[in-house]
Structure 1
Amino acid sequence: MRRHRDERYSRRACARTRCGCRFAEPLVEECGAECPTGPRSPFRLPPRQYRCRTDGWLVVEAWSPVGLLPAGTLPHHDYLDALPTRRPIVLVGNDGHNSWVNQRALDLAGITASTPDPVGGKIARDADGQPTGVLTDEAQKFVTRLIPRPDEAELTDACARVLAQAAASGITSFLDIVTDSSDLRRYAVLAESGRLPQRIHAAIRISTELAKDPAAALTHLHDLRAHSAQTSGVRIGTAKVYLDGIADYPAQTAALIDPYLDSNGNPTSNYGDLYVSGPDFGQLATVLDAAGWQLHAHAIGDRVVRTALVLQSQLRVVQLGGG
């Protein structure tokens, strides 16, 4: 029998179990299914009341959106629905921009053919307009917000172990490119307990909606910096904003000048998405620059890179007094 951990804990999938459970303790509800292991399995334990959760979320990390076999296979919830489990399943892409879920997860999230794409995200759909189970960028939150998070103590301990390993490899400082209030609280706890060996420059995430309101974005940044002012080793002076997505399949949300091609090399109607418009980004950059903040912009497609560079050059002219 393997021992398993429910959705509040490890995100490593237990691939050989018939019930689809996770590794390690604690014990939760009885599933009644054997979870076989080989005789030399490191997870083979003395007989006890091992249980696993049969109706909790199964989350698998580091799915490769471009690695499905055979070549040309498109991700669809039907493949996950065929697995012998009733659990809602989420495969989190190793690019951080795509998730692949089964029908149970779609149902729990209330995602149907009539669900509109969120700002800064996309629900992949088939030829009939039905969701395929692939969620991109902000659309992932429809599902991920339903998944119970590990408790804060476990997250903090895990962070401490990673930072210690980084320090042992000679990493003494780094830029945390997407930071929120929970990350800052965790850094504060680590610093207070002497477990923060690096100097960290934290880039605060500005959401797509907040980017449309530069004054509110600036207030948000100032508030988080003020709350973290006493955290030794953490410096805050950068804002992070996503201007588009990624060019990788199946997302293809990076904003391009020319359209994406289909599998036959023919142009499609998809040019990618601008998550933040040029004028909105220009206003945000102007306000943050005047307040002394650096702006870290995620810009992948050539269309959005051109937009960002033009706006940056215009801002530079204003700074030099040329217009």
Structure 2
Amino acid sequence: MFIATLIAKESLNERDIQSALASLNEAGATTTRQSDLIDGRVIDFFFDGDPVAARAHLEKIGGQIDIAVQPESNRIKKLLISDMDSTMITVECIDELADYAGIKPQIAEITERAMQGELDFAEALHGRVALLKGLDSAAIQQCLGERAKTMPGAETLVQTMVGSGAATILVSGGFTKFAKPVAQAIGFESFHANVLGEEDGALTGILDGPIVDSARKDELLQSISQSADIPLALCMAVGDGANDIPMLQRAGLGVAYHAKPKAAQAADVAINHNDLTALLYIQGISADQWSRK
């Protein structure tokens, strides 16, 4: 048995619901039941059939509606692992940091190509960091305060999952000087990111220690899942770029959040219209159960 969840940015109407039922029928699925309308904009359909075909047909409905198709079992996740830049915060920190060095367009172009999967991530990261050599280290804190804004729904998502007993890990191809305060502000239990080299109050243009790249994110998901005795089926991974694809494919549910095409294609679910609270609706957690500051 599978669940198809429709999450509207604003509201679902009867026409949307009937279109979804017709789409499931066209996909050869047998709908056994449906939930009541949840919070005016979410509904679950329970069905037997091919989940891939169901998702493909449902995504043709259009409008500002996100679709999630998943097995009915293991719906509630016990581990959340998430990317940071453009996922839990609204910007790419290295691009914003480059703005203080006056080279944002040059670095942002490389970032975009790396996130699209057109460039080797590690090579692109080393190249961008090298361009920041000599930048005053104080720019990091300034950038953090002025540019690193929390993505809508991030705190509610993380704190609700923490409140339910889930483990939460922030994994970033960015930098610890951003990841640590972001993780603390949102409520993640732990974080992993790259260390920017600094000397005499300025960036050295190199990284200290191993790189958190796609392989490392995947390794962290596997090792944390194993050490916490949480099956991968009960893990949710969230990201937006090619660097996130291995962990999106490894987790029981991989969610591409406002993502690049390759990441969206690789993930089980693509959220394009809603904020991060959509990841709670996917788990069957309605707004009256959310944790809020």
TM beyond 0.5 = no
Indicate the structure with greater helix content: 2
> TM-score, with normalisation over the residues of structure 1?
0.22
> TM-score, with normalisation over the residues of structure 2?
0.23
Structure (1 or 2) with the larger CA radius of gyration: 1
Q: Which structure carries more relative contact order (alpha carbon 8 Å, separation 6+)? A: 2
Indicate the structure with greater strand content: 2
